[in-house]
């Protein structure tokens, strides 16, 4: 999972800078001759409500932007761009500020652009023309401030591969998303329920303006997704037939060339599949360049499955004798039974731990409801309800999620979390109603069903939450002090430890600070304390043990 911010920055760099050079050729441009090129004239009906024809953008009281867009591919892109222009340009500025923060040298950025132009040279061949036309329309509203990096179309196009390239570059770290599905005798009314956390963190500003998008295309199925300005791909969504998709990153080798981004593949599934069989068929025809689990739920099939894709393999995982399905970030199908990358990932990472935690929590309830599903997504404890510290990647709720979401496909109901993380109110939407309503019923009012919303997490009202929010600020300060070898007061260090004492990283960073200052006895105590906590991965545990051995030698 991308808690380490520089990993996110690498993904952003690859997404944006990868376009440079390629844009000099027109070969990647979509054919727009069959589409309506009319430029939308947006009407602003309030400070947070915008309208064009049958399309609208409104901010609800929970802070979620609700976007409704219809039309042909080019019109969808132009309308989306026009309605979300301010949000789009703000999001782009957030991304690019992180690029400059990571690579301040103009010379280094120049050479990086040259390399990545080569790396992304074939991505345009693996994206459907329809999606490229939509991205072209959207890109007309991108900021002109960054044209020295690449032209707007190329910047937006290659941004859609940032997620893929970022987690591939690690054999690094992964987006540690957790998801599950239940149906039949495991759900309260027998119908399918799915829940997922999208634990992608690119800074607080990145998650500030979430968009709940409702798309009515001229071809294919109407669908909703949780997204952000500038993104046409799908990470979590459901279509009008009750087919759902969510993505979970898998362990990948570093690919040699970019192909179809996962979010574009899942978008295609959502727009053109109504059954599990149709979803498999679409997934098989696309060439991806990273490993990913796609959890697909189907109202028609009344069950869920996992499609497991990678550059050189393909598998489908189902549970024929069970009514629950769990997905963390490792593969489960027979096709990957002997995959060494997958086996290593299970052994060294935290995916198996989260898998077992979901098993425990689902097992605590005979029947699952949407409210119980939300409670599971919000759970902050480790196995057997152990306190493993706030922000631990082994928890289902790592207190950094971009969003949490729960689907009830047979009823076309969906609940989407509001800030902060997945602790805010889960806002309910009825796709049957939304795709039938007229524009007049949407202007200035929420598309949600307030009486079906799920309340905020009570954790928001606790001292522990206040401490955690302060901890998040102070851990950045101590990391900076470690990097710069700067002095912090004993009072600061004591308060930092008090804010999140059960989290292993608290003591690890104190250990690094004291080690750099040559306070070896204090550092040893810190690392010994970290070793008593639930450390996230095998490599991180090895790092703690290494410091302990090193310090014991120094203190002899």
Please provide the DSSP assignment of 68-95 as one string. EEEESHHHHHHHHHHHTHHHHHHHHHHH
Cβ atoms within 10 Å, residue 396: 27
**Which structure tokens are listed for 83?**
């309605």
Using CA atoms, how far apart are residues 425 and 431, in angstroms rounded to an integer?
19
In this predicted structure, which of 11-25, 371-385, 462-476 has the lowest mean pLDDT? 11-25
pLDDT band for 16, please (50, 70, 90 cuts).
very low
The percentage of residues in the chain with a pLDDT greater than 90, rounded to a whole number, is 70
Please check the confidence at residue 414 and state whether its pLDDT lies above 80. yes
pLDDT band for 6, please (50, 70, 90 cuts).
very low
In this predicted structure, which of 115-124, 240-249, 393-402 has the lowest mean pLDDT? 115-124
Q: What is the model's pLDDT at position 438?
A: 67
Render the burial of 229-266: b for 16+ CB within 10 Å, e for the rest: bbbbbbbbbbbbbbbbbbbbbbbbeebeebbbbbbbbb
Mention the CATH class of domain 463-555: mainly alpha
Q: What is the model's pLDDT at position 370?
A: 98
**Which structure tokens are listed for 3?**
């808690």
Helices of type H across 160-201: 162-169
Q: What is the model's pLDDT at position 167?
A: 58
Give the helix/strand (H/E) hosting 414: strand 413-417
Helices of type H across 148-273: 152-159, 162-169, 204-208, 262-272
Which one of 1.10.238.10, 3.40.50.2300, 3.40.50.300, 3.60.60.10 gives the CATH number of domain 1-461? 3.60.60.10
The two domains 1-461 and 463-555 share their CATH topology (first three levels equal): no
Q: What is the model's pLDDT at position 171?
A: 45
Residue 407 CB partners (closer than 8 Å, separation 6+): 192, 193, 194, 195, 238, 244, 297, 413, 414
The string of pLDDT tens digits covering residues 286-324 is 988 888 999 999 999 999 999 999 988 999 999 989 999
The domain ranges of the chain are 1-461, 463-555
The string of pLDDT tens digits covering residues 466-516 is 999 999 999 999 999 999 999 999 999 999 999 999 999 999 999 999 999
In this predicted structure, which of 35-39, 203-207, 342-346 has the lowest mean pLDDT? 203-207
Output 174 or 365, whichever has higher pLDDT. Answer: 365
Q: In degrees to the nearest 10, what's the CA dihedral of 87, 91, 92, 98?
A: 160
Please check the confidence at residue 281 and state whether its pLDDT lies above 60. yes
Q: What is the model's pLDDT at position 119?
A: 66
pLDDT band for 368, please (50, 70, 90 cuts).
very high
Report the pLDDT averaged over residues 345-369: 95
**Which structure tokens are listed for 163?**
């997620």
The percentage of residues in the chain with a pLDDT greater than 70, rounded to a whole number, is 86
Instruction: Give the bridge partners for 340, in sequence order.
Output: none
Using CA atoms, how far apart are residues 552 and 556, in angstroms rounded to an integer?
6
Q: What is the model's pLDDT at position 259?
A: 82
The string of pLDDT tens digits covering residues 74-86 is 999 999 999 999 9
Q: What is the model's pLDDT at position 172?
A: 42
Using CA atoms, how far apart are residues 86 and 109, in angstroms rounded to an integer?
27
Q: Kindly provide the residue ranges of all beta strands, DSSP E only, lying in 240-360, ordered along the sequence.
A: 243-249, 292-298, 303-310, 313-317, 324-327
Please check the confidence at residue 68 and state whether its pLDDT lies above 90. yes
Using CA atoms, how far apart are residues 426 and 457, in angstroms rounded to an integer?
10
Residue 180 CB partners (closer than 8 Å, separation 6+): 194, 195, 196, 324, 325, 326, 327, 358, 362, 373, 376
Report the pLDDT averaged over residues 201-225: 92
Output 382 or 100, whichever has higher pLDDT. Answer: 382
């Amino acid at each position: 999972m991308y808690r380490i911010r520089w990993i996110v920055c690498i993904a952003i760099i690859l997404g944006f800078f990868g376009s440079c050079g390629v844009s000099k050729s027109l070969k990647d441009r979509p054919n727009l001759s069959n589409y309506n090129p009319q430029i939308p004239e947006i009407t602003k009906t309030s400070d947070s409500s915008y309208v064009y024809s049958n399309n609208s953008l409104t901010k609800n009281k929970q802070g979620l932007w609700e976007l409704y867009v219809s039309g042909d591919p080019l019109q969808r892109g132009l309308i989306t761009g026009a309605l979300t222009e301010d949000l789009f340009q703000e999001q782009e500025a957030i991304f690019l500020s992180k690029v400059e923060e990571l690579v301040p040298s103009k010379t280094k950025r120049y050479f990086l652009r040259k390399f990545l132009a080569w790396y992304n040279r074939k991505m345009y061949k693996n994206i459907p023309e329809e999606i490229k036309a939509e991205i072209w329309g959207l890109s007309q509203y991108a900021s002109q401030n960054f044209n020295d990096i690449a032209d707007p179309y190329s910047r937006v196009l290659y941004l859609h591969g940032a997620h893929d390239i970022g987690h591939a570059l690690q054999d690094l770290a992964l987006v540690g998303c957790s998801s599950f599905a239940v149906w039949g005798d495991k759900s309260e009314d027998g119908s399918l329920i799915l829940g997922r956390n999208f634990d992608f963190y690119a800074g607080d500003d990145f998650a500030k303006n979430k968009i709940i998008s409702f798309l009515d295309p001229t071809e294919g199925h109407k669908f909703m997704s949780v997204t952000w300005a500038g993104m046409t791909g799908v990470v979590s969504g459901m279509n009008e037939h009750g087919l759902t998709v969510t993505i979970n990153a898998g362990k990948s080798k570093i690919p040699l060339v970019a192909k179809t981004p996962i979010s574009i593949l899942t978008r295609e599934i959502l727009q053109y599949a109504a059954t599990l069989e149709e979803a498999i068929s679409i997934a098989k025809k696309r060439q991806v360049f990273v490993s990913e689990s796609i959890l697909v739920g189907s109202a028609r099939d009344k069950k869920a499955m996992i499609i497991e894709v990678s550059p050189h393999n393909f598998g489908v995982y189902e549970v024929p004798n069970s009514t629950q399905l769990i997905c963390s970030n490792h593969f489960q199908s027979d096709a990957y039974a002997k995959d060494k990358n997958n086996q290593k990932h299970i052994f060294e990472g935290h995916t198996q731990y989260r898998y077992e935690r979901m098993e425990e929590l689902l097992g605590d309830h005979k029947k699952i409801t949407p409210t119980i599903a939300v409670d599971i997504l919000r759970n902050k404890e480790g196995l057997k309800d152990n306190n493993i510290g706030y922000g631990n990647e082994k928890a289902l709720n790592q207190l950094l999620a971009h969003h949490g979401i729960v689907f009830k496909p047979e009823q076309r109901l969906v609940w989407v979390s509001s800030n902060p993380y997945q602790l805010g109110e889960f806002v309910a939407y009825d796709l049957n109603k939304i795709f039938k309503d007229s524009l007049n019923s949407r202007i200035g009012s929420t598309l949600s069903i307030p009486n079906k919303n799920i309340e905020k997490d009570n954790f928001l009202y606790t001292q522990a939450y206040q401490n955690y929010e302060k901890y998040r600020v102070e851990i950045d300060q101590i990391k900076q002090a470690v990097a710069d070898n700067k002095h912090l007061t004993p009072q600061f260090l004591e308060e930092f430890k008090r804010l999140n004492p059960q989290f292993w990283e608290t003591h690890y960073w104190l250990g690094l600070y004291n080690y750099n200052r040559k306070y070896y006895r204090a550092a040893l105590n810190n690392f010994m304390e970290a070793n008593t906590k639930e450390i996230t991965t095998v490599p991180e545990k090895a790092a703690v043990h290494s410091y302990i051995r090193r310090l014991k030698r120094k203190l002899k």
